[in-house]
Amino acid sequence: MPPGAVRALCLGAALAVLAALPWWMANPYYVNIASQILFWAVFALALNVLVGYAGLTSLGHAGLFGMAGYTAGLMLAAGAGHAAAIVAALLATLATTAIFALLALRATGIGFLMITLALGQILWGIAYRWASLTNGDNGVKLADRPAPLGLHLSSPDAFYLATFAVFLLCLASMRLFVRSPFGASVRGTRDQPRRMRTLGYNVWLVRFLAFLFSGFWTGVAGLLFVYYNQFISPQVVALQTSAEVLLMVISGGVGTLFGPVAGAAIVVVMKNVASAYVERWNMVLGIIFVLIIVFMPEGLVPGAARLVRRGYRGLRAGSGPAAAEAAASPGTAGR
C-alpha cells in the first residue's frame, strides 16, 4: 500500500475514533478533557501559522485569545445574544490582531518577539487593572452556552461534538493554507525574504495577512475556551498562557499540521490528569519537553515519523538478503 494511502487511512481512523468519543468514553470528565485538548489545539495551530510557517515567534497571542473571551463575555453580560457576541468577539480580535501586526511587523526575530510580548502584557494590564470594565480578578461570568441548530451545549457530549466540528474546520483551513500559493509565499518570506522581494512579493503584506489568519483562529479558540469555562479572568491573558501554547507548538513540531495537536494533548493531559497523581507534575512536564528537544529536536510528530521510517527501512534491509537468498535457491522455478 502506498505511504500516502496508509497516512490517509490512519488519519481517517483517528478522526472516526475522535468523532465517536462521547459514545465510547463513559466518563464525562475525560470527555471534558478531550474538549480542552481540541480547543487548545486550535490555539496552537493558530500560533503555528506565525511560528512555523512565517518564522515569527509571538509571545502575545494570549492577549488575542483573551480579547475574544472578554468581548463575548462582556457582550453577553450587557444583554446581547450569542450570535452577536460571537461576531463582535471575532471582529474585535481581528482588529486587535491588525494593531499587533502593524506594530510588531516593524521588526523580526527577537525584536518581533519582544514587541508581541509587550503588547500582550498591555492587554493583561488592562484586563487586570480596568476593574470597572473587566471586573479585575473577579473576572467575567457567562450565564449559559449557545444552542446552535437546536443543540444545547450544556452537556459535555454536546460541547465536545461542537468543539470537534470547529477543530475539523480549523484543521481543514490549515491544510488548505499550507497547500495554497499563499502558504507557499508565507514560507518564502520565512526562508528567503530578500529573494521574495526581488520576485515582486510584498513581504510585509504577506506576513500581515498571515498574522490576521492566525489571529482569527486564536479568537475562535478564545471563544471555545470562554464557553467551556463560562468564565474568564486576567490569568488567561497572562504571559504564562502564551508560553504554554508556544511550548505546545515547539514540542509537537513547528511547521507541521499535527505537531501542535500532539503538543496540546501533552500539556492538557499533564495539567488535568497527571497532576491528580503526581504532585510535581510541572517538573515531569519539563522533563518531557527536555527529552523531546534532546532526542527529537524537530518535534514529537516529525521525530516519531522519522523513527518509524528508520524502523521500516531497517525491516526492509533485513528482509532483503533473505529474499535474495530464497530467490537464488536452485529448483524453485521449475517446481
Q: How far is CA 273 from the centre of its chain?
A: 20
Q: How far is CA 52 from the centre of its chain?
A: 11
Mean predicted confidence (pLDDT) in 113-141: 93
Mean predicted confidence (pLDDT) in 79-98: 95
Residue predicted with more confidence, 335 or 140: 140
Give the per-residue pLDDT at 40: 96
Q: Give me 12's grid cell.
A: 481517517
Is residue 293 scored above 50 in pLDDT?
yes
Residue predicted with more confidence, 332 or 173: 173
Q: Is 171 helix (H, G, I), strand (E, B) or coil?
A: helix
Q: What is the pLDDT of residues 221-262, one digit of tens each?
A: 999 999 999 999 999 999 999 999 999 999 999 999 999 999
Best mean pLDDT range from 22-31, 71-80, 309-318:
71-80
Q: How confident is the model at residue 335 (pLDDT cuts 50, 70, 90)?
A: very low
Is residue 334 scored above 70 in pLDDT?
no
State the Cα–Cα distance between residues 309 and 303, nearest whole angstrom: 10
CB-based burial, 144-176: b 16+ in 10 Å, e otherwise: ebbeeeeeebeebbbbbbbbbebbeebbeebee
